Amino acid sequence: MRRVVSLVPSLTEAVAESAPGLLVGVTDWCTHPADLGDAVRIGGTKNPDVSAIAELRPDLVIANEEENRAPDLAALRAAGVEVLVTEIRDLPQAVRELDRVLVGALGLARPGWLADAEAAWARVEPARALTAFVPVWRRPWMVLGRDTFAGDLLARLGVRNAYAGHPERYPRVPAQELAASGCDLVVLPDEPYRFTAEDGPEAFPGLPVALVSGRHLTWYGPSLAQAPQVLGRALREPLRSS
């Protein structure tokens, strides 16, 4: 049995659901599944405790080029730890990378939830096309820009990201500019910033606001199988900001 440390909440869930017991270390942000057994918490995605990880003697650390910092991954390699870094910018790439981690690196049978996710997204029939902006942070306001996994999922559901052509992946855009963008919809996920009905919509008076599950919008793991239904329902039932 391989000893695995995961530095990415999505990948933690993917491994835990596929082969319980492999994980010996996870980040403080790894929340799914609720029971991660005896896995040691080794810090955050941006500030993992390299020494603590090395002491766990993992056979493999799994990471992501966006979630984790290159200097931390270099320090792990310098400590003699094998690190597998994923790159995920759209749904097909997510499936390929999950296969690479679970089947290729860990030698597991391809999990049923991954086939379920592929089937669920293959059944998606986009609704009437809407243009939206998607804040992911506040103070300062930051939105989804080009080449993002979440943007790809929204496009498959019929929602075009107004900032998909921006040169930056997560540009800072003032709230006043967003409110005047002429978009049909504001999409507010509950992570990484926890937008709620009381925190976010008031910045964009008069615009419909879809409050969506960040886990279903940004995670690449078992949640992908339910994501089309969960996100689709939220997008069809937006709030009207006052």
Q: Please report, for the chain, the start and end positions of each structural domain, with discontinuous segments joined by +.
A: 4-110, 127-240
Closest CA to 2 of 95, 74, 104: 104
First vs last Cα of the chain: how many Å apart? 55
DSSP labels for 124-157? ----S-EEEE-EEETTTTEE--SS-HHHHHHHHT
Q: How far is CA 37 from CA 33, 173, 215, 219, in A?
A: 10, 41, 21, 21
DSSP state of 202: G
CATH of 127-240, one of 3.40.50.2300, 3.40.50.11540, 2.130.10.10, 3.40.50.1980: 3.40.50.1980
161 vs 2 pLDDT, higher one: 161
What value does the mean pLDDT of the chain take? 94
CATH 3.40.50.1980 fits 4-110, yes or no: yes
pLDDT of residue 130: 92
Confidence of residue 1 (pLDDT cuts 50, 70, 90): low
For residue 33, cis peptide bond before it (omega within 30 degrees of 0): yes
Q: What local confidence, expressed as pLDDT, does residue 113 receive?
A: 97
Band of residue 2 on the pLDDT scale cut at 50, 70, 90 = confident
What pLDDT score was predicted for residue 50? 96
Q: Would you say 220 and 227 are in contact if contact means Cβ atoms under 8 Å apart?
A: no
- Helices and strands, number each (H, E), in the chain: 9, 12
CA-CA distance, 52 to 36, in Å (whole number)? 18
Confidence check: pLDDT of 26 > 80: yes
Q: Which residues contact 20 (CB under 8 A, 6 or more apart)?
A: 37
- In the chain, the percentage of residues whose pLDDT exceeds 90 is 91
Domains 4-110 and 127-240 share a fold: yes
Using 50, 70 and 90 to split pLDDT, how confident is the model at 60? very high
State the Cα–Cα distance between residues 72 and 145, nearest whole angstrom. Answer: 25
Q: Supply the pLDDT for residue 10.
A: 96
Is pLDDT above 90 for 20? no
Rg of the Cα atoms in the chain: 19
The residue count for the chain: 242
Helix (H, G, I), strand (E, B) or coil at 73: helix
Specify whether the CB–CB gap between 40 and 56 falls below 8 A: yes
> Residue 112 and residue 188: Cα distance in Å, rounded?
30
C-beta of residue 210 within 8 angstroms of C-beta of residue 183: no
- Confidence label for 101 from pLDDT (cuts 50, 70 and 90): very high
**pLDDT of residue 239 exceeding 80:** no
User: What pLDDT digit, counting tens, does each position of 129-140 carry?
Assistant: 899 999 999 999
Model confidence at 87, pLDDT cuts 50, 70, 90, reads very high
